[in-house]
Amino acid sequence: MTSVHENRSTWSKVAAATVAVSAGLLLTVFGASSAQAATAAPQAASQAASQSAAPVAAAANTGWIRLAHLSPDTKAVDIQLTALSGGQVLESLTNVIYGQVSDYMALPQGTYVVAMVPAGGDMAHPLIQTSINVTQGQPMTVAAIGTNAKLTTAVFPDDLTTPTDGQSRVRVIQASTTVPSVSIATSAGAVIATDAKEGTATNYASVPAGPWNLALTGAGAAASTTQITLGAGTVSSLFVLDNASGGVTIKSVTDAASVGAALPTGGIQTGGGWAAEHVAGATGARVSDTVGLALSGSMLAALALAILLVRRSNRLATGGK
């Protein structure tokens, strides 16, 4: 008959064996996951480097467009950009509201189609749809403009030439439907727009960088003042929009900043965030899932081995085979 001391000795050996096996398996798992991470890191760095270099390499035949919702009585919309040849969807913006302007999108020169539908609507039945020719080195703003009953598309060429030191360049896009024309000047008397008609864009004017009080006047509209700050080296557009009280307001959007000529920057951050978050999340999930599955497998293997050792020990202790 087996003594308590012998049983304890047997269980101690079994426990020690189980711990040893588990430790070995864990070391194997973490070694494999570390190797995977080490392999993935250079690949990710290489991909990031190639992506960051891509705009510069592609600049020779690249143009840029951004999309704007400038229709005051049109509710939130979805906007889709597709290639005319093949119909590939290149960009989808959802739930874009009045006054929003997207970031610039770099595109190879060619012809593209912009379509807009009510938010959640079927792209097969757009409110408006137009073809856009993207040309080498030319940025442009493509806007849905006018009242809903007279909705149309306007294309405004953008000039992102860097201002001289201490200066800022600014223009006006007159998108108000309640005031047929507007004039805008700084408090120092610098004229930015004179009788700018609805649906038009002025040339860019150079003004010293810094805070400014802008005086807006227009036919049939009460004079108003807006405060803005123009950064040194920036290029901006002042969008004249309708407000809820029946008047007009000015919305300043940065077209470009002094970050190099390869790729324009600016606009209201519409879109792009989902892809960045989910690509990073997917990469992290793959590494953690591998470790989790391997750990589960190692624990099951250790448990099976422990049961086998206990059974074998019991058979030996009782004289069994």
Could you give the dihedral angle defined by the CA atoms of residues 73, 74, 76 and 77, in that order, rounded to the nearest 10 degrees?
Answer: -160
Phi and psi at 29, nearest 5°, equal: -60, -50
DSSP H or E segment with residue 282: helix 273-318
Per-residue model confidence (pLDDT) at position 188: 87
Determine the average pLDDT of the residues in 91-108: 96
Which residues have a Cβ under 8 Å from the Cβ of 2 and sit 6 or more positions away?
317, 318
Same domain, residue pair 170 and 247: yes
99-128: average pLDDT: 96
Last residue of a domain, one of 211, 233, 260: 260
Average pLDDT, the chain: 74
Specify whether 225 is located in the same domain as 304: no
Q: What is the pLDDT of residues 212-238, one digit of tens each?
A: 999 999 877 778 899 999 999 999 999
Same domain, 300 and 211: no
Instruction: Tell me, yes or no, whether 232 lies in a domain.
Output: yes
In this structure, the answer to whether residues 218 and 295 fall within a common structural domain is no
* CA 254 to each of CA 33, 121, 175, 179, 318: distance values in angstroms, whole numbers, following the listed order: 45, 30, 17, 24, 85
Higher pLDDT, 271 or 265: 265
Lowest-confidence segment of 38-47, 244-253, 287-296 by average pLDDT: 287-296
Distance CA 222, CA 215 (A): 11
Query: In 3-state terms, the chain is what percent helix, strand and coil (to 5)?
Result: 35, 40, 30
Query: How many domains is the chain built from?
Result: 2
Q: Are 55 and 262 in contact (CB under 8 A)?
A: yes
- Is it the case that residue 8 has pLDDT exceeding 80? no
Q: Tell me whether residue 50 is in a domain.
A: yes
Please report, for the domain that includes residue 249, its CATH number.
2.60.40
pLDDT recorded at residue 312: 52
| Percent residues over pLDDT 70 in the chain | 61
Q: Strand order in 191-197's β-sheet? A: 191-197, 181-186, 210-218, 221-230
Q: In this structure, is residue 144 part of a structural domain?
A: no
pTM of the model: 0.64
**Domain boundary, last residue among 260, 285, 303:** 260
**37 vs 209, residue with greater confidence:** 209
Both 250 and 284 in a single domain? no
Residue whose C-alpha is closest to residue 164's, from 212, 208, 202, 204: 208
What span, in angstroms and rounded, lies between the C-alpha atoms of 151 and 145?
6
Name the pLDDT band for 5 (thresholds 50, 70, 90).
very low
- In a domain, residue 47? The reply is yes
Helices (H), 86-229: none
210's CB contacts (< 8 A; 6+ apart) are 229, 230
Q: Does 126 reside within a domain?
A: no
Indicate whether 41 belongs to any domain.
yes
User: 192 pLDDT exceeds 60?
Assistant: yes
Residue 53 is predicted with a pLDDT of 38
* 38 within some domain: yes
Can you list the positions of beta strands (E) in 50-180? 62-70, 77-83, 89-96, 105-108, 110-118, 128-134, 139-145, 152-157, 167-174
Note whether 289 and 215 are same-domain residues.
no
What mean pLDDT is predicted for residues 256-277? Answer: 43
pLDDT in tens, 9-62: 444 454 444 445 444 444 343 344 444 444 444 444 444 333 433 333 445 699
Tokens representing 70 are 């400038």
Range picked from 4-13, 145-154, 249-258 for highest mean pLDDT: 145-154
Please check whether residue 267 lies inside any domain of the structure.
no
The pLDDT tens digits of the residues spanning 119-162 come to 999 999 999 999 999 999 999 999 999 999 999 999 999 999 99
Torsion angle of alpha carbons 154, 159, 165, 167, nearest 10°? -20
**Of the residues 225, 260, 295, which one is the last residue of a structural domain?**
260
- Give, in order, the Cα–Cα distances in Å from 82 to each of 62, 113, 116, 134, 275: 16, 5, 12, 12, 18
Can you give the pLDDT at residue 223?
83
* pLDDT confidence of residue 119: 97
Domain limits for position 165:
161-260
- Nearest Cα to Cα of residue 214 among 236, 198, 234, 232: 236
| pLDDT at res. 219 | 77
pLDDT at 111: 97
**189 plus 242 within the same structural domain:** yes
Burial 63-101 (b: 16+ CB within 10 A, else e): bbbbbbbbbbebeebbbbbbeeeeeeeebebeebebbbb
User: Using an 8 Å Cβ cutoff, are 303 and 14 in contact?
Assistant: no
Question: What is the C-alpha to C-alpha distance for residues 196 and 186, in angstroms, rounded to an integer?
Answer: 15
Band of pLDDT at residue 264, cut at 50, 70 and 90: low
